[in-house]
Structure 1
Amino acid sequence: MIDSDSMMDVDSGPVASTSHAQTNGYASPPSPRVVPRASSVPLQPSDATVGLVYSAEMVSHCSMSPLGHPEAPERIVRIWNAIVAKHYHLRTRSIPIRPVLKPEALLVHSEELWDKVEAIQHMSTQEIIDSEAFYDHLSLYVCQATTRSARLSCGGVIDASLAVARGELKKAFAIVRPPGHHAEPEEHMGFCFFNNVAVAARVVQQKTKIKKILILDWDVHHGNGTQRAFNDDPSVLYISIHRYEGGNFYPCGTFGGLQSCGEGAGLGYSVNIPWPEAGMGDADYIHAFQKIVMPIATEFAPELVIISAGFDAAAGDELGECFVSPAGYAHMTYMLGGLAGGRMVVALEGGYNLDSITNSALAVTEIILGGSPPEMGSLVANETAAETVWLVAREQSKYWKSVSPKACEPQEDVASLAFSIPEILKLHRQHYLYSEYDMMQVPLMGDSEHRFSAQIMCTPDIFQKDTLVLLVHEFGNLRADMASSVSCDVQVERSYLIDSSKQLVAWVRAEGYSLLDVNLYPKPSDESYGQRPKSLGELRKDAMIYLWDNYVQLSNATTIVLVGHGPACSYLMDLIDMRATSVVKSVKAVVQVIGHSSLRPPKPVFELREWYRSASFVALPFNHPIWSPEVRSKELKRHGTMQRIDEERSVKLMIKALPAIKAFVKAQLSGSQADMQIS
């Protein structure tokens, strides 16, 4: 059912729009005259790829209080003036504005709420005065023009979103008011009447092929209404960065807390980054984007991005009391622009300092028009922000594989004076291999050198020996006794590193084999957030291929033994898959000490599988799932010799499996199949 005014509720053009502005005391450039259209009519072809929604008619919603109100009509007027002054409107298409239709609003809101907003236009001046306390309790003000403005605001975001979703435009900016993200399905509140973004998302899902939508809300307040609308829906990912203060900052309560992650099918699809205090700035927001927003958004892979763009976290806003700069908003917009094939809708929410909201909105407009974000200085998140992001990462890692709490662990203020334990222990191993076996560091190239330097060592005879052992592993096991479980202080004199490969290395050298020792535990990344760094898996594969092509293959070794330990075994199998021909020709034995990691065969090529079965030895703990009756018989056929070790601790598997490993390798190198006991 369509409202009777649905085909004619459009901006009335320059004259009418200016009249509205003058009535309320605000002069503004007229919004462009448009042709009436329904939401179902596509935009006509145009060279412009960016659209703008604006109508001075929304200025009519204003407070009757002589003290005014933070959500003032000038907010959109100032933004539009700045865009016109920069001539940005000449590089965009004007998207006609029209009021939201009742069937559209009911995709999110109850009919009761619709009726309440519709009734406002019929209230007398005295009724508005008498109801002031009621609306003030909901953090609202109303006038007769409120209904029209609220419907236009929502309709403007809908048509901006439809234009982008249909491919008529690449990006759009809806400069609308009143805002919407606090409006819940059953109630209007927090300066908001209809939830513009939530309704637009539902209309897009209903009328276009786009179903997966990311809503990123950087308004300083939690968008309780938007999260409520999609709390149980996995098709919409809602991410909010907001001031929270333990639930004491508006809209208050625990719904915006970091543990509020959705429910039912939508569990994990609500992501809250709740700042515990005021004062957050560019470094803190960018840090949250790097560690939480972009990893989750990339994993979700949205088809459309909608930004609930409140600018009340901007420097100078007295309600938000934060310090995000226009450059900070530009960088966040730029990062989000890499998602969904660039399809993006920016919808204005809060922001109450007129200079701040104008400059911030202008910076965002420049980005969606194809500009580059301005250069920023060194950015280091403050201790509170780093702690918050780490806590969010711990929570969200339950639902998203791309979120690493370890990578988000906050650094203490002595970080510039400190050395990480893994780096100290890697250097110790490097020194041990050098002093005991005269082993040398192997240089790498590119990012592999940065992430794995000082971790790949070779014996000086690597190019002379007939037999070469390639040992691939990760970090050893650190055993630390605690002096106090309360303070977590380490009792240094009773803590030590367990190097499972120590005896294996000694045996390799005693046999006169050359050794290439590869530690694939990476150094932390300091990649720029503006780039997409390679995944750790890609980096490890690159390192393995580089070592094979430039060291193993160039050596004089005619027989090669591959040995993998723990999770690193997976990258040994990647090497076999990617260099199958040369591996089959020269590798005589493949030894894997799996631990509790998963086990996989090489790619399904007959010759490769046949070779692998004859050359493979796998040591597994006695309680590995592979020994279950329904799995065992199948895996024995795929992996050749399999040894069940009476040990469940990964750290001791190598030691207990070593006698069998020695026997298997000697038999393989002598050309006779060892008579191994499989149990």
Structure 2
Amino acid sequence: MDASIDDQMDLDVARPLLSRPDSAPPSESTTHPPAPPYVEPTPPKPRASSVPLHPSDATVGFVYSAEMATHFSLSPDGHPEAPDRILRIWNAIVGKHYHSRAKSIPIRPVLKEEALLVHSEDLWDKIESIQHMSSQAIADTEHYYEQLSLYISKSTTRAARLSCGGVIEACLAVARGELKKTFAIVRPPGHHAEPEEHMGFCFFNNVAVAARVVQQRTPIKKILILDWDVHHGNGTQRAFNDDPSVLYISLHRYERGEFYPCGPFGSLLSSGEGPGLGYSVNIPWPEKGMGDADYIHAFQKIVMPIAMEFAPELVIISAGFDAAVGDDLGECLVTPNGYAHMTYMLGGLAGGRLVVALEGGYNLNSITLSALAVTEIILGGAPGEMQSMVASEAAAETVWLVAREQSKYWKSVSPKACEPQEEAAALTFSVPEILKLHRQYYLYSKHDMMQVPLIGAELEQRFSAQVMCTPDIFQRDTLVFLIHEFGNLRAELASSINCDVQLERSYLIDSSKELINWVKTEGYSLLDVNLFPKPSDEPYPRPKGITELRKDIVTYLWDNYVQLCSATTIVLVGHGPGCQHLMDLIDLRATSVMKSVKAVVQVVGQLQLRPPKNAFDLREWYKDNSFVALSSNHALWSPDTRAKDLKKHGNLQKIDEEGSVKLILKAFPAIKTFVKSQVSAANLTRSAMSNMHIED
């Protein structure tokens, strides 16, 4: 075909793009120009992207052309990415008369300026040059293309451009409001094609280019791309890895990065970068054989919560059907009904604006049945009834790990709700509870410390065995009230890939151990509280958050033990996160605290520090009676911090150590000196006042 005539046909279809003043081709210095502000386009020519060849009230459209079948492998053994993939799907749709209930969207090749919204000019030139290669040149480059998991023929350029242009037109028809849903039955697929390279049966990244064109030519800017192809869409994620306007979610077989396209880019930790951090969501299956229950579980716990929080204006499915039952490359077990349910859920987003773009899928029977099931949904049907299903252990574990990672970026994702329910749950003990029990036993056997009883079902359930005191709590003149959280668990991994713990080389670091020994040596009494609450599944009439529970337990201990003991000198010590609740106590019980507390010690490390509430007498008291150990790289030491802002935080001590465990050890000599000085001063004051009373 004459290239100039072909390109002129392309211009007629995409004329509105070229006529816009802000649609000049991107410069060679970038392949990702930012989407310009939306400008109302000039009225289009009579030829629209969806041609009413069928009933005018249809809301669904199809993109298809048998011309894409001209791209085929010359190998006598054939190739999995074969023309019959789309021929079989289209014949099945026609056989069901589904095409008569929809509009036919004309297909056309992608334009260069459209492709360059995602791809480099070098890649465009490489794909364009294929159509001009001789048969000998094609044979000579066979090994080169095999290394990229590609094959070529003289018709490859035309088919690749049609495939990409077809997805563009399917997306524009929905984005412009001409149709509600469309299905682009195209090949070659696109989601492996990266901005700089074609690979993995893919030449242009059809979906990525279409998304960029939609952002430039319509008011729609926020787009969700859901990729359920069994392979990770490395090219699509790469195209939007730093872009928060496109949310990319992929469910794929990963197997520690050993499944195609291989490497860590498809891992659950690969979440985007820069402004796009959190906008790439990978659900990497660790093994083959994943089925409907696994995919639906991932949709319910990860995909849909994030998608609804993102609130897309358009949803595009990269619909590879190679995770379907019977596909030898994917070796997974998703049924047509499973694909139908996933499509149905996604169809509820973005006001129903949905585009399905064919990607992989290499078992002709499986891809046909799966595509028909999806077609029935976009035509308005309901998915079939699902049998009772439970996600596999591997899927449940994967979804939980993904939830832990994505909860950093999305409020709607709850790792707690995704925790795997193992069959042996009734026989297990959590590691924190084992270590708490160990600490309780150690304090009892080593220091004769006793468990403090708590009043109230909620405090007893959440903090029992976590509050200990020395038996002389009501007899000593000086009481140390130690407020801390859980110790540091150091675990050495036998395998970093499987996170297998090497138990004999793992241990608990309890930074309070030396402090307790010193308290006992000095003859002080001790009240020790661990503020790491036990998990609870009990629904209380008025459920409380962890922060409120911690305030409750600290003030309860102050009111019912510290204030009732005979000690005249109180020392408050907070470590790590416990410092926050030490300050809560000072604010909530300011009057009684200022009367009896003679020393306040905080070992903060790098955590955020806050001063006492804004009351002059409390602030002045705090300055005179505080010792605050901060890491040398704490934000408060910034040159931008004003002197008066430092003063309000009390007596700050810069410690050249980052970790909170080593920091308390390094600061301990100074802490002991400070506490003994404060206690001695309090004793002298009390003695002087006693003598004055005798003389009177």
User: Under a length normalisation based on structure 2, what TM-score does the superposition of the two structures give?
Assistant: 0.61
Contact 2:483 2:578 (C-alpha < 8 Å) held by counterparts: yes
506 and 247 in structure 1: CA distance in 2 versus 1, 3 angstrom threshold: closer
61 and 428 in structure 1: CA distance in 2 versus 1, 3 angstrom threshold: same
User: Is the aligned partner of 1:596 residue 2:600?
Assistant: no
Question: Which letter maps to 1:62?
Answer: A
Equivalent position of 1:519 in the other structure: 531
Which among 638, 648, 651 is matched to residue 641 of structure 1? 651
Distance 1:670 1:372 in 2: 83
Number of equivalent positions? 599
Which among 480, 485, 494 is matched to residue 474 of structure 1? 485
Which among 179, 182, 185 is matched to residue 192 of structure 2? 182
User: Is the aligned partner of 1:223 residue 2:251?
Assistant: no
Equivalent position of 2:549 in the other structure: 543
Equivalent position of 1:203 in the other structure: 213
SS in 2 for 1:3: helix
Q: Which whole-Å deviations, capped at 9, do the CAs of 1:166-225 have from their partners, x for residues lacking one? A: xx99x8564542343234456666555542321232124334566565544231123243
Which among 614, 619, 628 is matched to residue 610 of structure 1? 619
Equivalent position of 2:5 in the other structure: none
SS in 2 for 1:279: coil
Deviation at 1:541?
1.8
SS in 2 for 1:54: strand
Contact 1:258 1:274 (C-alpha < 8 Å) held by counterparts: yes
Question: Which letter maps to 1:74?
Answer: R
User: Under a length normalisation based on structure 1, what TM-score does the superposition of the two structures give?
Assistant: 0.62
User: Is the aligned partner of 1:652 residue 2:662?
Assistant: no
Deviation at 1:425?
1.0
Q: Which whole-Å deviations, capped at 9, do the CAs of 1:45-73 have from their partners, x for residues lacking one? A: xxxxxx74424x44664369898645233
Contact 1:313 1:322 (C-alpha < 8 Å) held by counterparts: yes
Distance 2:616 2:457 in 1: 32
SS in 2 for 1:62: helix
Equivalent position of 2:13 in the other structure: 5
Distance 1:254 1:329 in 2: 27
Deviation at 1:321?
0.9
Contact 2:492 2:503 (C-alpha < 8 Å) held by counterparts: yes
- Which range is displaced more, 430-439 or 297-306? 297-306
Deviation at 1:313?
1.4
Contact 1:52 1:94 (C-alpha < 8 Å) held by counterparts: yes
SS in 2 for 1:382: helix
Deviation at 1:322?
1.4
Q: Which whole-Å deviations, capped at 9, do the CAs of 1:308-334 have from their partners, x for residues lacking one? A: 232321333233111345676678779
Which among 563, 568, 580 is matched to residue 578 of structure 2? 568
Question: Which letter maps to 1:475?
Answer: F
491 and 64 in structure 1: CA distance in 2 versus 1, 3 angstrom threshold: closer
Question: Which letter maps to 2:89?
Answer: R
User: Is the aligned partner of 1:429 residue 2:439?
Assistant: yes
Contact 1:60 1:146 (C-alpha < 8 Å) held by counterparts: no
Distance 1:3 1:154 in 2: 14
Contact 1:441 1:455 (C-alpha < 8 Å) held by counterparts: no
337 and 132 in structure 1: CA distance in 2 versus 1, 3 angstrom threshold: farther
Contact 2:605 2:631 (C-alpha < 8 Å) held by counterparts: no
The 5-angstrom pairing of residues 269-348 of structure 1 reads: 278-281=288-291, 306-325=316-335, 347-348=357-358
Distance 2:648 2:107 in 1: 65
217 and 458 in structure 1: CA distance in 2 versus 1, 3 angstrom threshold: same
SS in 2 for 1:107: coil
9 and 502 in structure 1: CA distance in 2 versus 1, 3 angstrom threshold: same
Equivalent position of 1:62 in the other structure: 69
Distance 2:125 2:638 in 1: 65
Distance 2:504 2:55 in 1: 72
Equivalent position of 1:44 in the other structure: none
- Which range is displaced more, 174-183 or 645-654? 645-654
The 5-angstrom pairing of residues 118-517 of structure 1 reads: 138-139=150-151, 150-161=164-175, 172=181, 174-178=183-187, 179-185=189-195, 190=200, 192=202, 194-207=204-217, 213=223, 215-230=225-240, 236=246, 238-243=248-253, 250=260, 278-281=288-291, 306-325=316-335, 347-353=357-363, 354-355=365-366, 358-359=369-370, 362=373, 377-382=389-394, 419-431=429-441, 436-440=449-453, 452=462, 454=464, 456-457=466-467, 471-477=482-488, 489-491=502-504, 498=510, 500=512, 503=515, 517=529
Distance 2:333 2:164 in 1: 29
SS in 2 for 1:311: coil
Deviation at 1:500?
0.1
Distance 1:668 1:98 in 2: 88
Distance 1:290 1:670 in 2: 66
SS in 2 for 1:619: strand
211 and 615 in structure 1: CA distance in 2 versus 1, 3 angstrom threshold: farther
Equivalent position of 1:75 in the other structure: 89
- Which range is displaced more, 294-303 or 324-333? 294-303
Equivalent position of 1:39 in the other structure: none
Identity %: 44
477 and 249 in structure 1: CA distance in 2 versus 1, 3 angstrom threshold: closer
Deviation at 1:637?
0.9
Larger Rg: 2
Distance 2:288 2:230 in 1: 10
SS in 1 for 2:252: strand
Deviation at 1:521?
6.6
Equivalent position of 1:107 in the other structure: 117
The 5-angstrom pairing of residues 11-50 of structure 1 reads: 11-14=50-53, 32-33=55-56
